Amino acid sequence: MSESHPDTESSPTSAVSQKSLTIKSGSPLPLGAWVVPGGVNFALFSRHATSVELLLYDSPDDPYPSLTIKLDPVFNRTGEIWHVRVMGIGPGSCYAYRVDGPYRPRDGLRFNRFKVLVDPYATALTGVSEYDFDRARGYDPDSPLKDLSFSTEDNAPYVAKGIVAVRDFDWQDDRLPAHPWSRTIIYETHVRGLTIHPSSGVRYPGTYRGLIEKIPYFKELGITAIELLPVHEFNENEIKRVNPLDGSRLRNYWGYNPLGFFAPKETYASRGRGQQVAEFKEMVRALHAADIEVILDVVFNHTAEGDETGPTLSFRGIENPVYYLLEDDKRRYKNFSGCGNTLNCNHPVVRELILDCLRHWVTEMHVDGFRFDLAAILGRDESGNITPNAPLLERIAEDPILRGVKLIAEAWDAGGAYMVGCFPGLHWSEWNGRYRDEVRRFWRGDRGMLGLFASRLCGSADIYQHSGRAPLNSINFITCHDGFTLRDLVSYERKHNEANGEGNRDGSDVNFSCNYGVEGETDDPSINAVRLRQMKNMIATLLLSRGVPMILGGDEFGRTQRGNNNAYCQDNETSWYDWRLLERNRELFRFVRKMIAFRNDHGVLRRERFYTEAEVSWFDANGNYPQWNGPERALACLIRDLESARGDLYLMFNAEEHSVQFTVPPPAGAQPWRIVINTGAPAPYDAPDSGREPVFNGQVFELVPRSLVVLERPGHSG
């Protein structure tokens, strides 16, 4: 392709314009802004655009560009990709676009030359937190269509900008830990919330570097992977509501409203603008050095642009009908995400964007895996229907780069799709929502739960085995960011989301929780004893179950959100980790740490296949075969480790409100049973240190109300 020199507009005082710049036609690939010898190549996809302008800025704080380059549709366009190469600039350059074309909402086209737009492929953004979404909106509330109007207000002073990122980084021979699923224990947490509280004791609170400072804690606990709530760029200040209880401004805390899929969150960096890419890499490098994997919670189901009343920030103004699923009335957006719009994930262009993004985070940022928010949407076709063998899901699972990383699906969406157990592709693991609900129900004391509880303990064969899957396809969890914390699960019978400003209508009404006599915090020692025992019961169940355990960060020391089960907008002490609780609840922390170690020491609990009949036998409290659908709330099982010398385990679960006597079979060998876990006993006897486990020689073991006990018969040595 021949080189061209498009028309340029610039301010005579700008530093960019004073440089010796040469403008060339450039290359259509790769998309985004990439440093090339002597300059930067910019490439942007837009099918229906009639005009594209590249805006260059002297600094992130400049309200207007120093140089505007009008791309020539003859020399700066290949197919549907607009491109230009600017010689004389390099890493750190700030840029954005204006894209013009037809404004015909009835056809799904919403081009607006007055709106400055973010590059969907930008690998770093700046100023997102100051981005004035309302200035980008142009919504006419008096319009009978209740739709975006064609706004002539120039949003240039209020927008975010892309940064040409520095790619050079000293990874110091970094290697992915590559833990097998059988050795994986996931800790779900939030970069900011983990250390922003004054009690965290870190030098760089609320940042990637602050998370690095907590690595010794993670090592002490024993987890192998950190799953981070979204770090893709989002605007935490987009919410206009206030907390009706105290008048404080609400903020987008969780970050499930992405603006830049390739760009790590700028405000999570401690060193100021433009440093987020390097600091994120430093965090990954440090975690890998500690043998801890990094899993990102990614949101490829919708964007921050919302529905037809939302702002024009990027995708809408670049190629609206390609990037989004639209209704038959193309003014409207299909909304399977519950957030106003739905990405058109199986359109070839969008599919490539997602694949390019995932590869970028693996190859450039060295992450170890992804948890896909509302992943059922990734299986919807361009009409919004769930399709078998969805192209995107198959491409991700079979991609030569992505096939080796951890892939976790939240296998449902807000449009009613629920695909737990039938998510396409054997390489996908799934958040097992049934595990969460049915383990909660068993320990709450619901009747008729024995069979379901036993299935969850054994890896959920009833959900996964029929399709050729294994326990590793089940991500087991009791709590996650979305819902009650573990402490709140045993302290509240109903949600308390009044502070969210939505009249307590938001958040799930189905929590399978119990307060054991008092709603919320109490000084009653008997109630607190039951609550502590129940937290231990659920943590122990999680770590005794086949499958992959995930712990919600802070549950190990009793973090509370005061009954708020949807704290997405609570960037305050409601959500922040109060590390003072670690000292107050050392008994719980010790128990969680000991249970993780117990799981690691017993391969029979971690194997990546389902139990055989020879390996597990089930009993009721009297030693008989259980009535799976009966009213009893007590269950026992004998687990035989036929592949190692560890010996047998006898597990007893009492979810009754009274003590239950369990008949215990005699140990198979000469060695007596030892009591290795007992949630009904005070610390340290709830999880005794190795070599200090009490011996049990009896035939009947009495479990106190709502408790579990694990007996172990030592195996032979050698």
> Which amino acids are annotated catalytic?
373, 410
Q: How far apart are CA 287 and CA 292, in angstroms?
A: 5
Pairing of strands 616-619, 634-639: antiparallel
Phi, psi (deg, nearest 5) at residue 435: -60, -50
Give the 3-state secondary structure of 426-493: CCCEEECHHHHHHHHHHHHCCCCCHHHHHHHHCCCHHHHHHHCCCHHHEEEECCCCCCCCHHHHCCCC
- Alpha carbon distances (Å) from 175 to 127, 182, 614: 33, 19, 39
Q: How far apart are CA 450 and CA 636, in angstroms?
A: 10
Nearest to 371 by CA among 186, 182, 222, 566: 186
Q: If you ran DSSP here, which 8-state letter would residue 543 be given?
A: H
Hey, what are 633's tokens?
């709330």
Hey, what are 249's tokens?
């401004």
Give how far the C-alpha of residue 347 lies from the chain's centroid of Cα atoms, to the nearest Å: 24
Alpha helices (runs of H) in 509-651, residue ranges in sequence order: 525-544, 580-584, 586-601
Answer yes or no: are the C-beta atoms of 706 and 657 closer than 8 Å. yes
Crossing angle (nearest 10°) for helices 586-601 and 525-544: 20
Answer yes or no: are the C-beta atoms of 194 and 553 closer than 8 Å. yes
Answer yes or no: are the C-beta atoms of 634 and 620 closer than 8 Å. yes
- Alpha carbon distances (Å) from 307 to 139, 316, 340, 509, 600: 11, 10, 4, 26, 47
Answer yes or no: are the C-beta atoms of 233 and 263 closer than 8 Å. yes
- Across 612-667, the runs of DSSP E, i.e. the strands, are 616-619, 634-639, 649-654, 660-663
Count of beta carbons in the 10 Å neighbourhood of residue 663: 15
Q: How far apart are CA 418 and CA 414, in angstroms?
A: 9
Answer yes or no: are the C-beta atoms of 377 and 342 closer than 8 Å. yes
User: Left, alpha or beta for 26 (phi > 0: left; psi -120 to 50: alpha)?
Assistant: left
Hey, what are 447's tokens?
């009747």
Hey, what are 204's tokens?
């760089």
- Is 357 strand, coil or helix? helix
Task: Give the DSSP H or E segment for 318.
Answer: helix 315-323
